[in-house]
């Protein structure tokens, strides 16, 4: 068993990437349109894009959400943001801008409980979101 924040996570996290659809993508058990990968981070196209460019950026180590991140996760969280910026450049979003979003919990729209960033761009966006 692993302890993340206040929550005791089940032994299902023993699998590489955890036991979510994202863990299956990390382990290559299901396919995804991967646009970025390094030792710690994976980026792939969202199957339900909300913009011309919509890429999910996930840590290969399972963290349920940013609310469950610990001080020891700081380097990995930084790597996620650096990867998001690299993906935005590769996708041609640098000049016109883009949005990086993470949702925490079901009420915020989190549907997969494995931390992920949405890199969204290629169209104008309004504020506030949602």
The total number of residues shown for the chain amounts to 130
Nearest Cα to 68, choosing from 21, 34, 114? 114
Give domain status of residue 129, yes or no: no
Give domain status of residue 127, yes or no: no
pLDDT at 130: 65
Give domain status of residue 128, yes or no: no
pLDDT single digits (tens) 29-43: 999 999 999 999 999
CATH code of the domain in which 102 resides: 3.30.428.10
Structurally, how many domains does the chain consist of? Answer: 1
pLDDT single digits (tens) 59-112: 999 999 999 999 999 999 999 999 999 999 999 999 999 999 999 999 999 999
Could you confirm whether 114 is annotated as catalytic?
no
pLDDT at 3: 35
pLDDT at 14: 56
Q: Which of 54, 68, 114, 116 is catalytic?
A: 116
Bridge partners (DSSP) of residue 9 are 2
Give domain status of residue 126, yes or no: no
Q: Is residue 58's pLDDT more than 80?
A: yes
**Which structural domain, as residue segments, surrounds residue 113?**
2-121
Q: Is residue 6's pLDDT more than 60?
A: no
Give domain status of residue 101, yes or no: yes
DSSP 69-125: --GGGHHHHHHHHHHHHHHHHHTT-TTT-EEEE---SGGGT--SSS--EEEEESS--
């Amino acid at each position: 068993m692993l302890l993340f924040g206040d929550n005791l996570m089940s032994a299902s996290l023993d699998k590489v990437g955890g036991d979510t659809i994202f863990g299956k993508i990390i382990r290559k058990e299901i396919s995804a349109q991967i646009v970025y990968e390094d030792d710690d981070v994976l980026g792939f196209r969202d199957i339900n894009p909300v913009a011309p460019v919509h890429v999910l950026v996930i840590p290969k180590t399972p963290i349920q959400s940013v609310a469950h991140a610990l001080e020891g996760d700081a380097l990995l969280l930084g790597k996620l943001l650096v990867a998001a910026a690299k993906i935005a450049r590769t996708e041609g979003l640098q000049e016109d801008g883009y949005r990086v979003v993470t949702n925490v919990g079901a009420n915020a729209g989190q549907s997969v409980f494995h931390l992920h960033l949405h890199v969204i761009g290629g169209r104008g966006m309004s504020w506030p979101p949602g």
